[in-house]
């Protein structure tokens, strides 16, 4: 079981879309995948067609399970509140796709509870996942809340790997830099119990390279120089990705052979490669024109 958290210090960068599309793409390949929604806004659940809207639905909320675990009261097993969404990948001959859903009131309650307990309780979600699911899933993907908060820390502590993302806007790069520092601090803050590895950041909602502005180029340069290890693959701005959210069926399922589906497939392969190789071996995005300049230099030589 590998646990990957998708995280960003900034909201609105496409974190949830990334999490559900990558999770679905893994399941399309026949793997057993659990998507875990740690956001009070519960967007990952909506993206997979699950909305906990009534008071009776709250018993299925991951937030309630976390609150009960912190209060050391009897709670339902996570598998008993899990939603099976494998029907979404059946046409691809896929594997198992499941969801632990969120609900605003109970997840906010959990977030407030984590603020009041010692940081030694931050690994509680990881302990729950290892205890209950270590033999059930190949991958668990966690959609974390925006901002470096208590729930964000819980999600990163639960992860083996943390993936971040930026948009072609300057503030999002700073957010990814802050996120990287937060990931690196988890091991010491949990006294070595949790050791998440930062997998770098990719450009989301990017413009075609032929349309790049000075800002786009500068942002990629900042990513490289700040040690964010930008991915070779980026995900272009595409209305099909946002429209799919309202269908409860992510874009990679609706458009697997279109550009957006292919980009998520290529990005996923890069992510998986990084989980098994050291940082110094990671291919990273190059500045526009870098390859041509190298060739010219070779000719001059």
For 229-243, what is each residue's pLDDT tens digit? 999 999 999 999 989
Question: Would you call 7 exposed, middle or buried from its count of C-beta atoms within 10 A (0-12, 13-18, 19+)?
Answer: buried
Q: What is the pTM of this model?
A: 0.93
CB contact set of 208 (below 8 Å; sequence gap of 6+)? 236
- Per-residue pLDDT at 234: 96
* Whole-angstrom distance, CA of residue 154 vs CA of residue 186: 10
Q: From CA 287, how far away is CA 301, in angstroms rounded?
A: 22
- CA neighbours closer than 13 Å in the CB half-sphere of residue 137: 27
In the predicted structure, residue 249 carries a pLDDT above the cut 60: yes
Using alpha carbons, select from 270, 253, 176 the residue that is nearest to residue 20. Answer: 253
The pLDDT value recorded for residue 209 is 84
Beta bridge partners of 162: 5, 198
Kindly state which CATH superfamily the domain 2-300 is placed in. P-loop containing nucleotide triphosphate hydrolases (3.40.50.300)
pLDDT in tens, 131-164: 999 999 999 999 999 876 789 999 999 999 999 9
Q: What is the pLDDT of residues 266-293, one digit of tens each?
A: 999 999 999 999 999 999 999 886 444 4
**Which tens digit of pLDDT belongs to each residue from 42-92?**
999 999 999 998 777 888 999 999 999 998 878 889 999 999 999 999 999
Query: Strand 96-100 and strand 83-84: pairing?
Result: antiparallel
Q: How many residues does the chain have?
A: 301
- Grade residue 297 by pLDDT with cuts at 50, 70 and 90: very low
Tally of CB atoms within 10 A around 153: 23
Whether 69 and 75 have beta carbons less than 8 Å apart is answered as yes
- List the chain domain ranges: 2-300
Burial (CB < 10 A; 0-12, 13-18, 19+), residue 75, is middle
Counting residues of the chain whose pLDDT is more than 90, the rounded percentage is: 79
Q: Would you state the pLDDT for residue 289?
A: 64
Residues contacting residue 251 through CB under 8 Å, at least 6 positions apart: 17, 21, 238, 240, 241, 243, 244, 260, 261, 264
Q: Is a pLDDT exceeding 50 seen at residue 301?
A: no
Q: Which residues contact 80 (CB under 8 A, 6 or more apart)?
A: none
Q: Which of 108, 102, 152, 160 is nearest to 129 (CA)?
A: 160
- Mean pLDDT over 212-218 rounds to 91
Give the mean model confidence (pLDDT) for residues 37-45.
Answer: 93
DSSP 138-178: SEEEEEPPSSS-HHHHHHHHH-SEEEEEE-SSHHHHHHHHH
Specify the pLDDT at position 253.
96
Q: 144: closest CA among 189, 196, 75, 80?
A: 196
């Amino acid at each position: 079981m590998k646990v990957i958290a998708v995280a960003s210090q900034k909201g609105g960068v496409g974190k949830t879309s990334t999490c559900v599309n990558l999770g679905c793409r893994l399941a399309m390949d026949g793997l057993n995948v659990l998507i875990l929604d740690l956001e009070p806004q519960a967007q990952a659940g909506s993206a997979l067609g699950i909305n906990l809207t009534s008071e009776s639905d709250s018993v299925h909320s991951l937030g309630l399970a976390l609150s009960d675990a912190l209060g050391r009261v009897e709670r339902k097993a996570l598998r008993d509140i899990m939603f099976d969404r494998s029907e979404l990948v059946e046409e691809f001959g896929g594997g198992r796709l499941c969801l632990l859903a969120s609900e605003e009131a109970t997840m906010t309650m959990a977030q407030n509870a984590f603020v009041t307990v010692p940081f030694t309780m931050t690994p509680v979600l990881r302990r729950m996942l290892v205890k209950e699911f270590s033999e059930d899933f190949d991958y668990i993907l966690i959609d974390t809340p925006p901002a470096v908060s208590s729930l964000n820390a819980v999600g990163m502590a639960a992860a083996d790997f943390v993936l971040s993302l930026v948009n072609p806007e300057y503030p999002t790069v700073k957010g990814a830099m802050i996120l990287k520092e937060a990931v690196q601090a988890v091991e010491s803050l949990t006294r070595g119990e949790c050791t998440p590895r930062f997998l770098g950041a990719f450009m989301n909602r990017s413009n075609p390279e032929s349309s790049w502005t000075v800002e786009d180029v500068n942002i990629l340069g900042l990513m490289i120089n700040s040690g964010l290890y930008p991915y070779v693959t980026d995900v272009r701005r595409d209305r099909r990705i946002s429209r799919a959210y309202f269908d409860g069926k992510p874009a990679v399922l609706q458009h697997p052979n279109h550009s957006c589906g292919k980009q998520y497939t290529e990005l996923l392969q890069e992510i998986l490669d990084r989980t098994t190789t050291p940082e110094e071996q990671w291919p990273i995005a190059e500045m526009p024109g870098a390859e041509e300049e190298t060739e010219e230099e070779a000719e001059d030589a």
